[in-house]
Amino acid sequence: MISKTQPARVRFAPSPTGRTHLGSGRTALYNYLLARQTGGQFILRIEDTDRKRYVDGAEEELMEGLRWLGLSWDEGPDVGGPRGPYRQTERKEMYQKYARELIESDHAYYCFCTQRDDTLSAPEQHQQHRELCPTRDLPIAEADARIAAGETHVIRFKMPRGGSITVTDAIRGNIIVENSTLDDYVLVKSDGLPVYHLAVVIDDHLMEITHAIRTSEWLPTFPLHGHIYNAFGWEQPIWIHPSIFLKPDGKGKMSKRDTEALLAEGKSIFLGDFEKMGYLPEAVVNWAALIGWSFDDKTEFFILEDLIEKFSVEKLNPSPAAINFSKLDHFNGLHIRALSIDDLAERLRPFFERAGYTVDNAKKLHQVAEVLQIRLANLAEAPEKGGFFFKDEIHPEPESLIGKKLSANESLEMARHIQTLIQSLPDFSEDTANQPLRHLATKLGYKAGHVFSFLRNALTAQQVSPPVFETMTIIGREKVLERISNAIATLEEIARTSP
Ligand code: GLU
């Protein structure tokens, strides 16, 4: 059981190698929850030692994504902190010092096999490397002389030839691995920068990390990390490896191609895309938290504060879960409905503005938010569903103003009666307007549907809209009458040509 009272020092340690996806957001979230729940610290560490894969701007996008989700960090490259620097390239000297310690304690060696790649080798190669590397047991002084002469080299871990290692994951328990299956992994590359495996151990130790939540993709090299800890004689943090996401059909890991296919369908797994797509950060947090974690069988609505209270490592699911976008829509709907109207109004504003509407009337925006609240699956739908509220002029399809099975002349006559009635109404609330409009329909021999369909089309130029009474109230008397007379003019035009 992980204690809720011992302050946890946790870190989110992304590599700025591309866009920030939901998986990273979820890892950050779980770490954040543990820190906040225990009154500990949440640290942001940028793991940028892989210069080949480094992407400019990725770090900024990452921070923006975390801020958008509402996950604030206590220490990090931008805010500093007592265990910095928090960008690994700025810690190069530290790694070199510790790598040298491993060499001196015979846990690592300088390797000059430059024909070999710096990356992890295949199992049969590493056996070969372990058995055949000519400098594996070179005296340090000789290796130093070759380095001083400018020879290219890497530093490799000296994996024990026999025996096994046990590492412990809080979700999966003990994992025992035979050393013969492990590599003489590269720890420091020929550019002098450490690989992740070395840097993560040194940084987690120096930053006094107590719990490390990272994706299950690191399970295969987890035993190596255990070995490096043992070589230094350091205590390990509690390791927690939530499982990766699978693609929506559950068949395998999401590839770059799948991600692109999703984008083509208008869906995305990148944190930076959710906002423009009309998703609330609250919904994304709720959705992400529940991919791989659950509180109980029933509760599904969580805000960040609930999650801080309820999150527990014990309830993380070790099996991978498929990503489900309809769930995201579902949560988005729930969270939209949970917002206060003022809050929703302010979140809708940029969507209307980006769609070209001038939103200078705060009262109207508030009313629109109120009427749209139960009708939106996401905020991006707002201009399509409610843009007509902000338009100066609308242009209904002329045909839409003609009632079902009515002629143009009949529709025109009905419209004139509606106009007269509307003019006489003191307000457009349902209480005031519903009965008179229905009564009018019956009196003239039309269906109520004819009357309301005319009003809907005349006032909104849409087939589907919020309820007519609320719509009229928001549009206001002057515009309602203007739109009705425009519709009448259109009907007159039609009636002239084809009565
Ligand atoms: N830089 C690693 C990654 O982006 C971090 C893994 C970890 O949290 O230790 O996957």
User: Per residue in 166-205, pLDDT tens?
Assistant: 999 999 999 999 999 888 999 999 999 999 999 999 999 9
Instruction: Give the residue from 321, 338, 355 where a domain finishes.
Output: 338
Domain of 384 in residue numbering reads as: 341-390
What's the gap in Å between 60 CA and the centre of ligand 1? Answer: 17
Catalytic residues: 256
My answer on whether 305 and 416 are in the same domain is no
What CATH number has the domain bearing residue 293? 1.10.1160.10
My answer on whether 273 and 322 are in the same domain is yes
User: What was the pLDDT predicted at 1?
Assistant: 65
My answer on whether 297 and 379 are in the same domain is no
Does 295 fall in a domain?
A: yes
My answer on whether 270 and 212 are in the same domain is no
My answer on whether 157 and 221 are in the same domain is yes
My answer on whether 222 and 266 are in the same domain is no
My answer on whether 225 and 94 are in the same domain is yes
User: What was the pLDDT predicted at 280?
Assistant: 98
What's the gap in Å between 216 CA and the centre of ligand 1? Answer: 10
Measured from CB, residues less than 6 Å from any atom of ligand 1 are: 13-15, 47, 196, 200, 214, 218
User: What was the pLDDT predicted at 145?
Assistant: 98
My answer on whether 329 and 371 are in the same domain is no
Q: How far apart are CA 276 and CA 301, in angstroms?
A: 23
My answer on whether 230 and 264 are in the same domain is no
Atom nearest to 214 CA in ligand 1: 8
Q: How far is CA 319 from CA 176, 224, 248, 388, in A?
A: 19, 23, 15, 48
User: What was the pLDDT predicted at 132?
Assistant: 77
Q: How many domains, in total, are found in the chain?
A: 4
DSSP 21: B
What CATH number has the domain bearing residue 492? 1.10.10.350
My answer on whether 230 and 363 are in the same domain is no
| Nearest alpha-carbon partner for 198 in 154, 161, 145 | 154
Q: How far apart are CA 369 and CA 342, in angstroms?
A: 8
What's the gap in Å between 62 CA and the centre of ligand 1? Answer: 13
The residue ranges of the chain whose pLDDT is under 50 are 118, 120-121
My answer on whether 111 and 225 are in the same domain is yes
pLDDT in tens, 210-252: 999 999 999 999 999 999 999 999 999 999 999 998 988 899 9
| Residue 457, both tokens | 């089309």
User: What was the pLDDT predicted at 120?
Assistant: 44
Does 407 fall in a domain?
A: yes
